[in-house]
Structure 1
Amino acid sequence: MPEFDLDSFKKTWQEQPVQNKYGDNEILQMLNRKSRNYVKYIFWISVAEFLLFSVIGIFYFFQNEEDNGFLNILEKLGAQKTPQIENRFDTIYWILKISSLIVTAYFVFKFYQNYRKIRIEENLKGLITRILTFKKTVNAFILISILLLVAFTSIFTIFIFYSLNAQNVEPKSSEMTIFIVGIIVTTAFSVLLIWLYYRLVYGIIMSKLDKNLKQLKEIDSQEV
């Protein structure tokens, strides 16, 4: 009986050609489907956000309590809450609110467009381009959401200073310091919360999409 050589058997086994379980086309289709699903998830999340903001806006419209915060600050600083000031505030508030909903609706539409454009039969370079475009859209949505918050706070702060000046009111320096510091701290904290929210909700999906993009680029480099 011939002697069994384990080392020789290992060497022979290691030299055997390894066949890929999936071909590049199958992997491409699989990554395409996954990418399409990730884009779809973000689309539905953005739809939910749009509906939530709309419902909240309608609720506060009927409650008529949305303006209490800034107008109460005006009174604490020494200004009078006149009907003229209230009307101006309401006008500014609804212009900003509608602008915010328009911006959100625009990005919902863009996410839907991106979802529709990623097709299962998409060629490799086309798919990579679609994913890169989608990433830019998501980053723009996050950035504009933060900028909208800063813009809203800045506009309302300017409105408060304008109202004080119109009524020739000069608040105490301590009250003004508290007001300015409060605005800065509140805005910074709100921006942080928004950033954390998008980092958590969108970040998880985008990280998976990035993995797909990396694999697609690897396949593309092999084909060149």
Structure 2
Amino acid sequence: MDELDKLKAAWKSQDYSKEKVSAKDIYKMLHAKSSSYVKWIFYISIIEFVLLNSLYLSPKYKNDIKFYKELDLGMIMTVIGVISTIIVLFFIYRFYINYKNIKVDSSSKALMQSILKTRRTVKNYIYFNIGMAIVLITIVYSKIFSNAEAFRLYKLNSNIPDINTPSDLSMKVMIIFATALMILIIFLFYRLVYGILLRRLKKNYKELEQLDK
């Protein structure tokens, strides 16, 4: 039983032989915990952004850029990359604003609104990242699978030899399956990392609803 659970138990029992535990005490605890959760959402988004953008410094990224140019996708991939980076930075900014706002909330109603806004922002952030990944993959694979030369370039870029390999159709099926699995893993990762904090914020929201009754 954590400190918040102890406060709630004391508040419900209200042992008058001891100092009373007020709803205000529980609110302060919920406020502190919620602020901490939103702060961690902000920190995790920054860490994720830095790690993902560090991939741009890798030799693999340079090879991918060359490959996209060979497929005549260099411009569109650059434009999508710039737009997605701007949108992700906007989400990070929103996480920061949510954190700043939740720190100064002075009532349970305001705190509940901040929790709802934070949960909505995080969910939109996850959906955007997954959606953008699907869009990029669809664009690239549509081009790769459109003709034999593009698929040959893909195998060359992926260091797949032309000998002792499955048929092109079988390979395409395996590529699609592996990609779908990768997207699922990314989605589950987001659900795990951000989902834990979102569930805790949801629990705090329900506790605040009980206090307001």
Q: Tell me the TM-score normalized by structure 2.
A: 0.75
Distance 1:166 1:198, change over 3 A: closer
What is the deviation of 1:192? Answer: 1.2
- Pairing partner for 2:138 from 138, 154, 169: 154
Cα offsets for 1:135-162 (capped at 9, x unmatched): 0111111111111111111011222245
Q: Secondary structure at the match of 1:65?
A: helix
Q: Is the 8 A contact 2:14 2:20 kept in 1?
A: no
Alignment of 1:18 onto 2:15: yes
Q: CA deviation at 1:44?
A: 0.4
Aligned residues: 185
Asked whether the 8 Å contact 1:150–1:187 carries over to 2, the reply is no
- Deviations 1:152-206 (CA, angstroms, capped at 9, x unpaired): 11011222245x2999x9xxxx845224413421221112111221122112222
Residue aligning to 2:158: none
Is 1:104 matched up with 2:85? Answer: no
The alignment-based identity, stated in percent, is: 32
Unaligned runs of 5+ in 1: 1-15, 72-84
Match of residue 28 from structure 2: 29
Q: Normalised by the size of structure 1, how large is the TM-score?
A: 0.72
Query: 2:64 corresponds to which letter in structure 1?
Result: E
* Deviation digits for residues 92-135 of structure 1 (CA, Å, limit 9, x no counterpart): 33223223322221111111111111134421111101101110
- Alignment partner, residue 178 of structure 2: 186
Q: Which has the higher contact order (CA 8 A, sep 6+)?
A: 1
**What is the correspondence of 1:49-128 to structure 2 with a 5 Å cutoff?**
49-60=48-59, 64-67=62-65, 86=70, 88-128=72-112
- Counterpart residue identity of residue 62, structure 2: N
Q: Which amino acid aligns with 2:15?
A: V
120, 128, 139: which one pairs with 1:136?
120
Asked whether the equivalents of residues 29 and 120 of structure 1 are also in contact (C-alpha less than 8 Å), the reply is no
1:53-87 Cα distance to aligned partner (Å, 9 max, x none): 221123348x622247x67xxxxxxxxxxxxx527
Q: Is the 8 A contact 1:33 1:120 kept in 2?
A: no
Alpha-carbon distance in 1 for matches of 2:209, 2:140: 47
In structure 2, what residue type is equivalent to 1:146? I
Q: How many Å separate the matches in 1 of 2:14 and 2:89? A: 54
- Could you tell me which amino acid in structure 2 is paired with residue 28 of structure 1? Y
Q: Which has the larger radius of gyration?
A: 1
CA RMSD of aligned residues (A): 2.8
Q: What is the alpha-carbon distance in structure 1 between the residues aligned to residue 59 and residue 206 of structure 2? A: 45
